[in-house]
């Protein structure tokens, strides 16, 4: 089932960014309204020309292009066959498309509070709603507070032009996340911004969850991905985690071995 390699061509990305910078004056000042920029290779979703909300390979729309999305898929190391997945933040639908394609037995619900982002989902090949796949116009924090259903995996990647939404980094929100997770359910959060604030968010999470979180730094130093579990699944032995990453790499053409190594390195340092 694996498609093409997900490593990004640095020169291709650089050329794309240089072309994008020429559009800065035209698009900035749109007050956070999403817009699409295309090249021959990529299609990107932006709120402004300073930060990419989503990036899609035009020739391989399901491929995960941006490194941090591959790391977020690291939940597979702890649950390779989740039955119910919830996501907060649609963007260009990279994670939603990947899970829909590679985890066909999973029920997936995606919460996105910006109807203008949802209106663009067809441009990014996001599947239509069905029995097992739904994109809802909803505030993720409010949805979880009132939710009765439980999830095996919860992915949080909710950003606006101003950064991470405030309602997605409070202790009340993290408590709602815990309440919505099945036993050994995994919460994965993309943090992009000041490392000091990310540490504050991690401390809030660790006050809520019984088991400690692990905050993995992306190689590009732009994002940190937090993993935490409603149970002891993250306590998996190093040997078994590496074996799992090797097994999964036969199906998932993403950097799971690297994610496993980064996870183990961070977990080891946190114990020192």
Catalytic residues: 157
| CA distance from start to end of the chain | 40
> 61 vs 57, 137, 243, CA distance in Å?
5, 23, 29
Pick from 248, 173, 156: which is nearest to 207 by CA? Answer: 173
Cα distance between residue 1 and residue 219, in whole Å: 26
Looking up tokens 């020739």 gives 59
Rounded Cα distance, 54 and 26, in Å? 19
Distance CA 68, CA 47 (A): 19
C-alpha to C-alpha distances, 189 to 16, 18, 30, 97, 238, nearest whole angstrom: 27, 29, 27, 18, 22
Please name the residues in contact with 52: beta carbons below 8 A apart, sequence gap of 6 or more. 44, 45, 46, 66
- List the alpha helices (DSSP H) in the chain: 10-21, 24-27, 67-72, 94-102, 115-118, 140-145, 171-180, 195-208, 238-248, 256-271
What tokens does 224 get? 């940190």
DSSP 8-state class, residue 34:
-
């Amino acid at each position: 089932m694996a498609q093409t390699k997900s490593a990004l061509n640095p020169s291709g990305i650089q050329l794309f960014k240089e072309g994008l910078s020429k559009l800065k004056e035209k698009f900035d000042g749109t007050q956070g309204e999403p817009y699409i920029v295309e090249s021959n290779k990529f299609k990107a979703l932006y709120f402004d020309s300073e930060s990419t909300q989503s990036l899609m390979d035009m020739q391989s729309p399901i491929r995960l292009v941006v490194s941090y999305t591959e790391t977020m898929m690291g939940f597979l190391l702890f649950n390779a066959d989740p039955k119910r997945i919830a996501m907060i933040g649609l963007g260009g639908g990279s994670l939603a498309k990947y899970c829909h394609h590679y985890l066909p037995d999973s029920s997936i619900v995606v919460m996105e509070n910006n109807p203008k982002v949802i209106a663009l989902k067809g441009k990014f090949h996001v599947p239509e709603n069905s029995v097992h796949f739904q994109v809802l116009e909803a505030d993720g924090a409010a949805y979880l507070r009132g939710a009765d259903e439980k999830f095996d995996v919860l992915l949080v990647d909710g950003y606006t032009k101003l950064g991470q939404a405030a309602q997605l980094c409070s202790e009340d929100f993290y408590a709602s996340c815990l309440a919505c997770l099945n036993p050994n359910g995994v919460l994965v959060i993309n943090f992009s911004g000041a490392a000091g604030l990310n540490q504050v968010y991690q401390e809030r999470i660790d006050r809520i969850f019984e088991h400690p979180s692990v905050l993995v730094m992306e190689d590009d130093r732009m994002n940190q991905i937090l993993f935490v579990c409603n149970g002891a699944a993250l306590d998996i032995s190093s040997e078994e985690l590496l074996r799992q990453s090797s097994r999964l790499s036969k199906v998932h053409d993403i950097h799971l071995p690297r994610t496993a190594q980064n996870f183990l390195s961070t977990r080891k340092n946190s114990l020192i």
